[in-house]
Chains A and B, each alone.
Chain A
Amino acid sequence: MPTALEGELEQLVGESGPVAGIPPDMLDGGLADDLAGASLAIARRFHAGATMWCVAPRWEPHAHHMAVEFVHPVIMGKRALPAFALCGPDVVAQTRVSVRPGDIVIAVADAGDRAVRDLMRRTPAWGALSVWIGSGARPPGGAADHVLWIEDPDPLAPATGRFVIMYHLLWELTHVCFEHSGLLSAPAAECTDEVCITCSDEGRLAEVILAPTSAFGTALVRTEAGEEHIDVTVVGPVSPGDLVLIHAGAALTRLDDEVVR
């Protein structure tokens, strides 16, 4: 007969929590459609020559896994695609210097990850497609072009296969899209936001590269179309890294930190 202590040990050790893995209905509620849309957008970008930049500040192995998935496919004969993991203490600076217009930035992070929030809000100024994978509380609407979210508060979700299957599916579906070459050219103006910024009067997002060197000088900024000089007299002094909305060659307003697009 077990002693009281043994019984207690048995109870503690045998007590397993709810199964933490992939629920069969994980993609219900729109996530399947989100994955499909993100995969087609990614395939179109790769088709046009994009490189994929992968970040996951809290779970860096996920950034490496995403990159190796695309670079060295597990299925023989599938195209090797350019993808890099970016790690280290400043993912915003790392991505800024690496990314080119037309590229893809993909992150695995919580909605509260400040570096990734900052990274995602800058991607339009770099001309990059943004994809954000995470779980728990959702980021605010429009935080990235494609938000692939598991609305489960379990903080250990990143270690149970639920994130791995998300980027496995992205890879698998992206390669399915490659079999449909007729659909890989995006419509002329790819409108990913509610209002297409290139064909309306809306301001375009720009990131300051160099501040003006004189009172009446222009600032050098970066937009999805490349680098340009703009007038910043309306917004006042600017510093490298500042985000501004520009229209017709001038900065109209400055975006404060934490103002998500």
Chain B
Amino acid sequence: MSVGAGAEATGFLYPFIDGQEKGTESLLTDLASSARSKVQESSALQCSTLVDCAEMLANAGAEMAARFASGGRMYAFGNGGSSTDAATFAALFAQPITGRPLPALNLAADQAVLTALGNDVGFELVFSRQIIAHSHSRDIAVAMSTSGSSADLMTALGEASRRGLLTIGFAGYDGGQMAGATEVDYCFVVGSQSIHRIQESQALLGYELWATVQRHLAADQHLGTDQHRAADKAAPMSQGPGGTA
């Protein structure tokens, strides 16, 4: 990038305090302008990603809501920064500021389980072994990745799919192995080459998925109340209608 070529030159020409201050000022200006252009890039990528994924978000959200409604829970997992994004995603479901809390777990949260599996059976199996131990067919598995090809995630998605779980993958670049895998029911691909920008768009995809699930559950609740009310028309409830959050 072009940042600082000028600053270096200035620092060389004015090696004393004035020169250093001038170089600092010019560096700070370049840093601020670089930050602004990265934000604009990320914002545009978030918008185009949501447009590209709109239909998949609606369908995946509906299926997730149905599974939560029937008692299913969600397992989210990833590696490195993506593992923390998976944890944020799970926390959004389990401890939301608004809406219904839903059972969601981050499979990288337990250091005992993670190190036991990593040491005893190999890192490739750290998530799939947990899927085997914990899951039921009504559950949901969500893998977050930027490459879309991490072996531990692909193994876990394969295991989850064989067990009847709904499988969702988040990937970047061209989607990697996740994009073409039959074991992945919904694969959200953020078409970028930058790991940072990919993760920022994945965060918003996750948020939209959560919001879609919440809207479905609120709507189901609303309809349920209406049907109940219609059936009870002859004997109306003594209390007013309950709010639907």
Contacts of B223 in A (CB 8 A): 5, 8-9
Q: How far is the CA of A27 from the CA of B23 in the complex (A)?
A: 23
Contact of A65 with B85 in the complex, beta carbons under 8 Å = yes
Q: How far is the CA of A156 from the CA of B210 in the complex (A)?
A: 11
Option from B23, B89, B97 in Cβ contact (under 8 Å) with A183: B23
Interface of B is mostly: helix
Closest beta carbon of chain A to B116's beta carbon, Å: 20
Say if the beta carbon of B151 comes within 8 Å of chain A.
Answer: no
Contact of A36 with B32 in the complex, beta carbons under 8 Å = yes
Contact of A69 with B81 in the complex, beta carbons under 8 Å = yes
Contacts of B212 in A (CB 8 A): 13, 16
Q: How far is the CA of A245 from the CA of B147 in the complex (A)?
A: 52
Chain A, residue nearest B200 (CB): A161
Contacts of A155 in B (CB 8 A): 97-98
Q: Report B158-180 CB contacts with A as 1/0, cut-off 8 Å.
A: 00000000000000000000000
Known: A182-B20, A183-B23. A5 touches B226 (CB 8 A): yes
Q: How many residues of A contact B (CB 8 A)?
A: 52
Contact of B199 with A164 in the complex, beta carbons under 8 Å = yes
Contact of B200 with A180 in the complex, beta carbons under 8 Å = no
Closest beta carbon of chain B to A88's beta carbon, Å: 13
Question: What's the interface size class on B, roughly?
Answer: 35 or more
Q: How far is the CA of A20 from the CA of B47 in the complex (A)?
A: 10
Chain B, residue nearest A36 (CB): B31
Closest beta carbon of chain A to B2's beta carbon, Å: 11
Which residues from 183 to 212 on chain B have a C-beta closer than 8 Å to any C-beta of chain A?
195-196, 199-204, 206-208, 210-212
Say if the beta carbon of A24 comes within 8 Å of chain B.
Answer: yes
Q: Report B1-38 CB contacts with A as 1/0, cut-off 8 Å.
A: 10110011001100001001001100111111111101
Beyond A5-B227, A16-B212, A22-B46, list 10 extra A-B contacts (CB 8 Å): A12-B219, A13-B215, A36-B35, A40-B24, A61-B84, A69-B81, A155-B98, A161-B201, A176-B30, A177-B27
What are 28 A-B contacts with C-beta separation under 8 Å? A12-B215, A13-B212, A19-B47, A19-B50, A21-B43, A32-B32, A32-B33, A35-B35, A36-B31, A39-B31, A40-B27, A40-B31, A65-B81, A68-B81, A74-B81, A74-B195, A74-B196, A155-B98, A158-B88, A159-B92, A159-B203, A159-B207, A161-B42, A161-B207, A172-B196, A176-B31, A182-B11, A183-B24
